[in-house]
Chains A and B, each alone.
Chain A
Amino acid sequence: MSGPASRTTAPESNAGRSFRAGSVQRRLVQRIGFGVLSLTALATVVPITMVVGYIVQQGGSAVSWEFLSGLPRDGMRQGGILPAIVGTFLLTLGTAVFSVPLGVAAAVYLAEYAQENTLTRLIRVAIINLAGIPSVVYGLFGLGLFVLFLRFGTSILSASLTLSIMTLPVIISAAEEALRAVPQSFRTVSVSLGGTRWQTIWRIVLPQAVPGILTGVILGLERAAGETAPILFTGAAFFLPRLPNSPLDATMALPYHLFVISTQVPGMPVQIQYGTALVLIVFVLSMNLAATVIRSRARARRQW
């Protein structure tokens, strides 16, 4: 039907039409793309909201002043969870005391002093593998080394040391990254002004890296605070209705307490289980919030 004349005009009109059609089509594809992306983003928000919401709904009624500040009574079926809260706080603090100085020092060595060679590659491989070890294996290792061999017993000290080893890789990696993010030019300038390498690190590099290091530290400690397996054999007590008064005491801790009252105690009121979960989650999420605040504040104040 179409003659040669109409065929010659076809490409042009086709092009014009496909331009319009294409733009409609493209807009549609874009809209679908955005829709899918928003859905996936939403998909990550939904579970956390549901988990927190469910826990609040189930356990909110259990949380009272007495619950937070009291000792457990009646085989943990009544009373409060203060020893577990204090225990988790002390374990987190103990972990920080050991892992932060060690982790930051290791990161300074790796980022500022070490040459790229077989030794440092070996160290890096070790750090990566340390991060991959299942936490229950840390627990067993802690039992062997700290509890039995070093005779620290089942104690806050043993548990903190075990958690520290588990937390180290997180802190080292975060701190090394934060140190490397400090512009090289600051180091060159400092050295050209007669600064030694250590003076440069101490007065410029470390202070500039502190927010990044702190964020990594908090994220590492947050994980430690929520772990059960590493403290299972090394420091956590099944039922110890008093506050610890020495680092060599065993202690109750929130994650292990939650495990115990959820599986080991018959006739446990559900509200107390969820109330305990709520306290644990608030503890961990508030650390997370602190990390976020520190990061955004530092970003606003940063001069590079």
Chain B
Amino acid sequence: MDKIVVDNLTLQYTDGTESLRGVSMTIPANAITVLFGPAGGGKSSLLRCINRLNDLADVKTVSGRVLLDGVNILDPATDVVALRRKVGMVFARPVVLPFTIRGNITYGLELMGIHEAARLDEAVEQSLRLAALWDEVHERLEDPAIALSGGQQQRLCLARSLALQPEVILLDEPTSGLDPISTGKVEAALQELKKDYTIVLVPHSVQQAGRTADFAAFLLQGELVEFGVGKDLFTRPSDQRTEDYVTGRFG
């Protein structure tokens, strides 16, 4: 099932830097789709169109459509708050909010007006289990989140998004600052999560792209060069540029 359809998306920043040119692709549900390519290719810009986080950036023009379940979310009338609850995001640098571990997870729910302790407790446990962090932190939920290690913080950020019960999870180089063991834990969690969620991942390396991708899109300087099933794209790329990048001839 096509969860997200990107249709002829073009985006320009006011300073003219990273942009997208006529990108069209479909992102299927219950799979990990990776957006990869060299820096400045438009991966993050594309990711941030899916939850309208680009609204905060200096975007000059956006044209085209991004359909989520058939609804164009770039429409100015879109309820962006509701959209962002439906489309969670994890950033490259784990940014824990200056609260406790528990407070980080309940924050988004409290914004929705959920305050019953029982419901919050349940959400905390459930989302921490999904992010494979529960066993490590369940005895110190009231500790400041900043006390966690980098890898734990990143999984907490994942749990924080999951607590809102989103349908789509966007991850922008979520393991770029993590050691291989922490990276493995995050990747394993994603493999579990894809059963229930649509996952769009900007990996921090081609190797990670190859490891995790069910589907893959290769973006180069704002253009979508190739989109396909992950296995095929990395073993038998149809475009020369994709092959050159995947085999390490440039990038």
Contacts and interface: CB of A to CB of B under 8 A. Distances in A.
Interface stretch (B21-29, B91-99, B189-197): B91-99
A199 interface: yes
B98 A193 contact: no
Interface residues of B, number: 25
Contacts of B82: 194
A115 to B, nearest CB: 11
Contacts of B110: 203
Contacts of B107: 190, 193, 203
Interface in A173-197: 183, 185-196
Interface in A120-157: none
A192 B81 CA distance: 8
B160 A193 contact: yes
Nearest to A195: B111
A194 B91 contact: no
Contact of B97 (A194, A196, A204, A302): A204
B108 interface: yes
Given A185-B93, A199-B111, A303-B146, A191 B98 contact: no
Contacts of A65: none
Count class of interface residues, chain A: 20 to 34
A36 B168 CA distance: 64
Nearest to B84: A194
A113 interface: no
B237 interface: no
Interface string A156-181: 00000000000000000000000000
A117 to B, nearest CB: 14
Nearest to B90: A192
B71 interface: no
Given A193-B107, A193-B161, A204-B98, A188 B85 contact: no
Given A185-B95, A203-B107, 12 more contacts: A183-B95, A186-B95, A186-B98, A191-B53, A191-B56, A192-B51, A192-B84, A193-B84, A193-B85, A193-B88, A199-B111, A204-B97
Interface of A: 183, 185-196, 199, 203-204, 208, 302-304
